[in-house]
Structure 1
Amino acid sequence: MLSLGVKQLDEILGGGVEEGSSVAFVGSIEYDNVILMHQAVFEALTSGRKVLLVDFRQPIKTLLKELKNHGIDYEPFLNESLTIFDGYSNLYGQTVQSGKNVLPNPLDLGITTAIIKEELQKGNYDILVVDDVTSQYTLQSNPKSYIKAIVRLTNSVKSLGKATFVALCADVFDKSSLATILIPFDYVIEVSREVVEIKRSPKPLRVIEPRFSYIRTNKGISLKKELYQSLEGLKAQLQAGENGTIWIKDLKAHRVQIREEETERSLIETVYDFLGFEKGKELLYVWGKKQFIGYGEYSKRHSTDIEEALEDLFKFTMASGGGKLELVELSESTVIIKGTNLFPGGKGYPYPLHPNYTGSFAQFLTEFTGKHWEGEETKCEAMGAEHCEFVLRKVR
């Protein structure tokens, strides 16, 4: 299997893509598909594969510099396991360029594809990479002939037992041309507008909805949720506005405030003081439910494993300073969660301080499973217990 360099994508595909298969990375004008394709190429190079890369989109120096901005450094592999063909200079240069690895006339599709196939065989490469086929398409006097040439090239490379990675911008092709050019590809992966989606795969996929949210970072295309599962990732996403606001940059409409522990404890104690124990606990529980509306549905779209989904939730809680959560018991009808150093903390309070956590867990489980869950905090550090404990039960 060939890993594509993104854990979530590999997991959906059952470990990656098959050796010798053809993969189309389809994107839009932001070219995030190109970044993901090069992450896959970099992963292949680091695992010992040999790659022939044909660059039609920009000068090679510019390509290498651009990729370094996303944590992809090809320099150590050049002239060893990576060869780059310059298909750019003679498309746009004022004079004819010549030399090693320069395609003499990229618009001559017969010569260009013959050179590529000959080099693939002679150099014993594992993967042909084309960045990208859109540039050539826009320059053709007969686009249909060009599409046929790409289809022939892809199928002939496949017949050699080599893999093909190709990037293209769907916004440029009309619907019929896009469908035609994608015919020979075993895998079609769409990377656009902060969503990666598997459009085609020769094997059954491991999830109901084969898609996940991403963000482009200095380490390439990253799973968006992973940015909020570590303190470093969360801090990197905070952005202060000049008007006294702080935002999580890549979550729309998520304004945040740094809050002292005493402030939240005071709020919880005030609720109990005004409403009494039973009504106060009920309000805090409902507050927690309200805070978590939508989280379980989102998680269900990206995972079918409830234990994995809860662990992701625990990572986010720890990264955001909420404390440490651990799964103690998981059955079809009962979930028990242990918590330490939860927010707010402290000792010497007669009532549990975290009914909102219980409400959040109940809401999450209800959305994720499609069954109704309720629960309670049966132990609390604030009341002198060694740890907090939350018992959730499926009601129906």
Structure 2
Amino acid sequence: MKVSSGLETLDQILGGGFEKTHNIAIVGSIDNDHVLLLHQLVMSFLSQGYKVLLIEFRQEVNSLVKWLESYGINYNKSIKEGKLKILDGFSNLYSPTHIAGTNILPNPMDLSITIAIIRDSVVKDAYDFVVIDDLTSLYTLQTDQKAYIRVVVRLVNSIKRFGASTLASLNSDVLSTQDLSMLLIPFEYVLETKNETITIRRSFLPLKINQTSIPYIRSNIGIIPAQDAFKSVDRVKEALILDNTGALIMGGVRVQIVEEYSEAALIEFIYQFLGLEHGREFLYRWGKYEMTNLPINQDVIKNLPKIEAIKRILEDSFEFTKATGGGILRILDISEDRIVIEGKNLFPGLRNFPYPAHLNYVGALTRLVEKLTGEIWEGEEVECESQGHKRCLFVIKRLSKGDIKGNLKGSKE
């Protein structure tokens, strides 16, 4: 049985999600992205009807709740419904006087008592997941850290015997390589968040897509895989950040809002300055150049039929185009040698213009197909709304060896 992570790209790679009753560790550093991802998983598990016991060692529960609410994560409903219980393991770690109360661990440093409370809760209330935020908080306070590691390994294994899974976060900055490896022994899944990338370090089953690294952005709704981030206008809005230097950032890249008139004026000037043929070539090559450094997951090609892989990557790019105001694109026909794409309301929308205005789109899509296939393709815009047609129509063809030689010969002449 699969348990969804709530992250579309991660679920696809894992073949639908995590295997039920298997343990998950999320390793990170001082930026706390791993902690945010952990709580996103908790929300996903709760939304699927699972019961969760959360043990909070890292900060006060009220502080945790306030921090999570800034990312749209709210546990109140699940707590009221009895689907989530939070054990406060922080207060009595640092309070000068003992604090008593419901769901407050009396002495978190007394590992035998703490573990007994956790186990009793799992057995009594039949929790599906035990979530520990985080394992390194107690580690840093131990006089015998090796003994603590042994206790944690036994705890995680014993929880699994009761039919529950453990989800835990760890800060690798405070752990030696050896201690980190030992703490991770009982976890079938290990994810690492570092440098805005989720890396799958361990998986219980072989990955369905041979992709271990997932670039992500941190937005006001949490961690989002980059390839999922810009598939709707709402996601684009959530990813936009204006800093105090006047830089508008979207997904770690500086952007600027460009009005349609400015873009149209640029295209008009290119044709006026270079003429028809050189203008067409410039726009087409401009589009290809923009895609030159775009990272492509070649493993998609290896794990899907060629046509299906091309179709999926192109359609993902269409969603980005739509979400960022570029218009609507769709595939009309696709084969090993030819791809026909229709465009509607493409940006900019010139009127009564004598030349094709969206050759940069064609160039970008052609370069994308070339990067996916490792072959030479050629694209053209055969119909354009700006010229009075009802649509824009792009035709991208794979060049044979003879075509390539002919093009090279023509360029020499």
Task: Compute the TM-score of the two structures, normalised by the length of structure 2.
Answer: 0.89
Matched residues in 2 for 1:344 and 1:103: separation? 61
Partner of 1:39: 40
Structure 1 residue 9 corresponds to structure 2 residue 13: no
Task: Please list, as runs of the form range in 1=range in 2, the aligned pairs for 1:171-182 lying within 5 A after superposition.
Answer: 171-182=173-184
Report the identity percentage: 42
Aligned to 1:209, what secondary structure does the other structure show?
coil
- 1:352 is matched with which residue? 356
1:119 partner letter: S
**Is structure 2 residue 260 aligned with structure 1 residue 256?**
no
Distance 1:242 1:122, change over 3 A: closer
What is the SS of the residue equivalent to 2:325? coil
**Corresponding residue for residue 218 of structure 2:** 216
Q: Number of matched residues?
A: 392
Cα pair 2:23 2:167 within 8 Å, conserved? yes
**CA displacement, residues 151-186 of structure 1 (integer Å, 9 cap, x when unaligned):** 111111112221110111111100010111101101
The 8 Å contact of residues 52 and 85 in structure 1, kept in 2 or not, is answered as: yes
- Please give the alpha-carbon distance, in whole angstroms, between the structure 2 residues aligned to 1:166 and 1:377: 53
In structure 2, which of residues 108, 112, 116 is the aligned counterpart of residue 114 of structure 1? 116
Give 1:312's aligned residue.
Answer: 316
Which of 360, 377, 382 is the aligned partner of 2:386? 382
Q: Distance in 2 between matches of 1:222 and 1:202?
A: 23
- What is the rounded CA distance, in whole Å, between the counterparts of 1:86 and 1:137 in structure 2? 17
Letter in 2 for 1:87: G
Q: What is the RMSD of the two structures over their aligned residues, measured on CA atoms? A: 2.1
Aligned twin of 2:293: 294
Alpha-carbon distance in 1 for matches of 2:85, 2:270: 67
Q: Which amino acid aligns with 2:76?
A: E
CA–CA separation in structure 2 for the residues paired with 1:240 and 1:25: 30
State the alpha-carbon separation in 1 of the partners of residues 313 and 255 from structure 2.
24
User: 2:81 aligned with 1:64, yes or no?
Assistant: no
Secondary structure of the structure 1 residue equivalent to 2:3: coil
Q: Give the structure 1 partner of residue 136 of structure 2.
A: 134
Q: After superposition, what is the alpha-carbon deviation per residue over 1:97-137, rounded to whole angstroms, capped at 9, x for unaligned? A: 22332222211222221221122111111111111111000
Task: Quickly say closer, same or farther: Cα 1:283–1:28, change in 2 above 3 A.
Answer: same
C-alpha distance in 2, partners of 1:55/1:384?
Answer: 63
Distance in 2 between residues matched to 1:219 and 1:238, nearest whole Å: 12
Deviates more, 1:91-100 or 1:133-142: 91-100
Q: Report what 2:410 is aligned to.
A: none
Alignment of 1:47-126 (within 5 A): 47-78=48-79, 80-126=82-128
Following TM superposition, by how much is the alpha carbon of 1:368 offset from its aligned partner in structure 2, in angstroms?
A: 2.1
Residue ranges of structure 2 left out of the alignment (5+ in a row):
401-413
- Distance in 2 separating the partners of 1:286 and 1:83: 58
Hey, what does 1:370 align to over in structure 2?
374
Kindly tell me: are residues 258 and 279 of structure 1, through their superposed partners in 2, closer, same or farther at Cα, counting changes over 3 Å? closer
Q: 1:241 to 1:34 in 2, by over 3 A?
A: closer
Give the aligned residue type for 2:279. G
- 3-state DSSP of counterpart to 1:338: strand
Q: Is the 8 A contact 1:378 1:391 kept in 2?
A: yes
3-state SS of the aligned residue for 1:171? helix
1:249 & 1:318 partners in 2: Cα distance? 16
Checking the alignment, whether the CA contact within 8 Å between 2:260 and 2:347 is kept in structure 1 is no
TM-aligned CA deviation for residue 234 of structure 1: 2.9
CA distance in 2, matches of 1:127, 1:237: 31
The Cα offsets for residues 127-150 of structure 1, whole Å up to 9 and x where unpaired, read as 111111110000000111101111
2-structure distance, mates of 1:122, 1:266: 70
- Residue 350 of structure 2 contacts residue 357 of structure 2 at CA under 8 Å; is this kept in 1? no
Deviation at 1:23, TM superposition (A): 0.4
Deviations 1:50-101 (A, max 9, x none): 1111111111121222221111111112251212212112211111222332
Measure how far apart 1:239 and its partner are.
Answer: 4.9
Paired residues for 1:189-338 under 5 Å: 189-239=191-241, 246-252=247-253, 254-261=254-261, 263-295=262-294, 297-298=295-296, 300=298, 305-338=309-342
Task: Read off the aligned partner of 1:234 and give its amino acid letter.
Answer: V
C-alpha displacement of 1:392: 0.7
Alpha-carbon distance, 1:255 to partner:
3.8
Q: Do the aligned partners of 1:371 and 1:394 also contact (CA within 8 Å) in 2?
A: yes
User: In structure 2, what is the Cα distance between the partners aligned to 1:279 and 1:112?
Assistant: 74
User: In the aligned structure 2, how far is the partner of 1:239 from the partner of 1:83?
Assistant: 34
SS of the aligned residue for 1:349 comes to coil
Structure 1's unaligned 5+ residue stretches are none
Corresponding residue number in structure 1 for 2:406: none
Per-residue deviation, 1:236: 4.4
* C-alpha contact (below 8 Å) 1:294/1:367 kept by paired residues: no
Residues 291 and 133 from structure 1, CA distance in 2 versus in 1: closer, same or farther, beyond 3 angstroms?
A: same
Question: 2: CA distance between counterparts of 1:264 and 1:61?
Answer: 49
Displacement of 1:300 after TM fit? 4.6
8 Å CA contact 1:246–1:257 kept in 2: the answer is: no
Which residue does the alignment assign to 2:396?
A: 392
C-alpha displacement of 1:325:
0.8
For the residues of structure 2 that align with 1:19 and 1:186, how far apart are their CA atoms? Answer: 11
The 3 A distance-change label for structure 1 pair 257 and 301 is farther
